[in-house]
Chain A
Amino acid sequence: MNGTAVLHSIIDGVLTGSVYALMATGLTLIFGVMNIINVAQGILVILGAYLSYALSVHLGIDLFVGLAITIPTLFVVGIVVERIFLSRIKGPERVVMSILVTYAIALVIEGLLNIVFSANYVELHAWYVVRSVRVFGIWLPYIYLLGFALAVVLLGALYVMLYRTRFGASVRASLADQTAAALVGINVRRVSTICFGLGVAVTAAGGMIYGATNAFNANSSYDLISRLLVIIVLGGMGSLGGALVAGIMMITIEDLVSVVWGPTWSNLSFFVILVIVLSLRPQGLFGQRSVRVA
């Protein structure tokens, strides 16, 4: 272990962490507005990665250009899933049922992806995936920097949409209190559907970066979703800033542990931190303790 390795892992963690933060923001946005935990987020990331893969391998479309197709596609997938399945879940057990329904949707998508693309690991290829650039004396593949830039741009766009537009105001109102939002004339149904679409659409970008930095198959979704869930619980469910901070923090810590103790322990550190934080602060780092949860 030396200083350069630690610095490397921190830079690496921040760059990768921002991509996780993007995917987790989608998840926490969905939870905050709709009270739905979208367990399918992991497989949707993989779906996004496979879409980029198919476009680049069969049509020769560049990964970043392909996002112009995959992001709207996943937005539509999100809208369709919300309209057909999630909008029908009612009653006091909505949260729990939503977990199971999205899990079932994930199983269907996983099975289909396995059938279409087989279970062999694939990787996304482009010149910026294989070439590196020297930053602060450290060689980094271009894709890490481009991925970071993409995550920053999309998170920025999401932020502007949420805090600077009229629609964003209705989203934040629905986040705070659905009933009150409906009372002041916000169409909470429509806001929910669009938010679900947006939350799913970010997986297209996240999936492309994930696929370019990792070899993946449909099974990788379990690893992804477990990390994303830990991130949003740690950040505080429904807290957008919390997802951002927790995403970058967790991936950085994971990379550090990997350098200091070895990669086999890095995954474990993730969950150990979760258990410790929740024992001290059950509502997560930035979550608000609800006064009464039925």
Chain B
Amino acid sequence: MSRLKYGWWLPLLAAFVVFPLVEKNPTYTTIGVFTLIFMGCAASWNMFSGYSGYINLGAAVFYGTGAYTMTLLSNHLHVPGSGDQFWLVPVGGLVAMIVALPFGLIALRVRRHTFVVITIAIFFVFQLSAINFSFTGGTSGLSLPLIPWLVTNFNTPFYYIALGIVIFATLLSFAVRRSRFGLQLLAIRDDEDRASGLGVKVFAVKLTGFVLSAFAIGMCGALYAVFEGQIYPQFVFDPLFDISIALMAIFGGLGTLVGPLLGALVLESMQQYLTLQFSNSSLYLVLFGALFLFIVLFMPQGVVVYVRDLWTRHSLASDDDSTSMDPALSGSTLS
């Protein structure tokens, strides 16, 4: 059972590792890098919001913080554009965590639906600050040291670092899911008052999860900054980023391990491809919104859970052995 359950990760991982070796067209490897960046963000976002039920629509704060940390540090420390900047990627994640602490202290004081609204508000504080402060370069943004690599190989290091972040975020999410801490997050999602009554330190648990989820998102933002070579406040602090990763996670299955990865893989690659084909982002907005509405109305628990339920029903019909369901894992989705 467990071999069947985890065995399919390996070929999938192999496919991701091999992709840039097979596909040499920079257009498509660029799509690959962006898709992986979003997969990392969605997996990390899900680790807090999916498990605890506190939907964070201000995750772009972490992303933008990572991007600005990378840009400002590499400019002020005069890091040459030779790949040395990659060492600053984890720093971007750490600074995002530091920013997440006061953010969480304020936003987590309230219950879920108000939390969502406050995260949106705090997000706009950051976006406006990035536009208004002088050290961020305002709306004209900031550029990073130029990386003098050939176009043909330019994407490869970014691709593998992004893949590393995705693997890290997934393993962390898995570890949290299996830990006592993860169960406390799930208990908060299911009934916060009862969890509190049973001795879960709800505020501390929520804050820890919130800060922890900032790390990988901050790293993704830092990597994005190096990849683009130029950042603008309206693109690194983008309200569409907030909603996109939430939709990706829900598309795949909120609170599941694979769901956000699948959601980001499908939706981000689709967006990049459509933008490339039609150079019309408005059309994408319509499709994206419509697809999401379809998912919510017909598969409210996400594609992964929908397929798993179909599969379970199928195997239940063939043999009556329903005892092998792991209650801890089968309860991993929002009802």
Which residues from chain A sit less than 8 Å from chain B, CB to CB? 35, 37, 85, 88-89, 91-93, 95-97, 99-101, 103-108, 110-112, 114-115, 119, 222, 226, 229-230, 232-233, 237, 264-265, 267-268, 271-272, 274-275, 278-279, 282-283, 290, 292-294
Contacts and interface: CB of A to CB of B under 8 A. Distances in A.
Interface in B31-90: 53, 55, 57
B110 A96 contact: no
B239 interface: yes
B191 A110 contact: no
Given A37-B116, A95-B113, A100 B250 contact: yes
A226 B191 contact: no
B310 interface: no
Interface in B269-292: 280, 282-290, 292
Given A105-B289, A268-B125, A268-B128, A88 B243 contact: no
Interface of B: 53, 55, 57, 106, 109-114, 116-118, 120-122, 124-125, 128-129, 131-132, 191-193, 239, 243, 246-247, 250, 280, 282-290, 292-293, 296-297, 300, 334-335
A267 B128 contact: yes
A97 B120 CA distance: 16
A107 B292 CA distance: 10
22 contacts: A85-B293, A92-B335, A93-B334, A96-B112, A101-B293, A104-B289, A108-B285, A108-B289, A108-B293, A111-B286, A222-B239, A233-B118, A237-B113, A271-B122, A272-B125, A275-B106, A275-B121, A278-B106, A278-B110, A282-B110, A283-B110, A290-B111
B333 to A, nearest CB: 10
Contacts of B109: 278-279, 282
B118 A274 contact: yes
B253 to A, nearest CB: 13
Nearest to B239: A222
Mostly, the B contact residues are helix
Contacts of A103: 243, 247
Given A267-B128, A282-B109, 11 more contacts: A91-B335, A93-B334, A96-B113, A99-B113, A100-B250, A101-B292, A103-B247, A110-B282, A229-B117, A267-B124, A274-B121
Contacts of B129: 268
B53 A93 contact: yes
A222 B285 CA distance: 14
A279 B292 CA distance: 34
Nearest to B131: A264
A101 B290 CA distance: 10
A289 B18 CA distance: 55
A96 B124 contact: no
Nearest to A284: B114
Nearest to A275: B106
Highest count of chain A CB atoms <10 Å: which of B106, B114, B131: B114
Contacts of B285: 107-108, 110-111, 114
Contacts of B122: 271, 275
B287 to A, nearest CB: 8
A237 B122 CA distance: 18
Given A111-B283, A282-B110, A99 B116 contact: yes
Nearest to B118: A278
Nearest to A265: B132
B290 A108 contact: yes
Given A107-B288, A271-B128, A279-B106, A233 B114 contact: yes
Highest count of chain A CB atoms <10 Å: which of B55, B121, B284: B121
B128 A107 contact: no
Nearest to B113: A95
Contacts of A101: 292-293, 296
A108 B121 contact: no
Contacts of A115: 280, 282-283, 286
A119 B281 CA distance: 11
B100 to A, nearest CB: 15
B214 to A, nearest CB: 18
Contacts of A233: 114, 117-118, 121
B300 A91 contact: yes
Contact of A293 (B111, B239, B246): B111
A104 B287 CA distance: 10
Contacts of B282: 110-112, 114-115, 119
Nearest to B109: A282
Contacts of B250: 100
B121 A96 contact: no
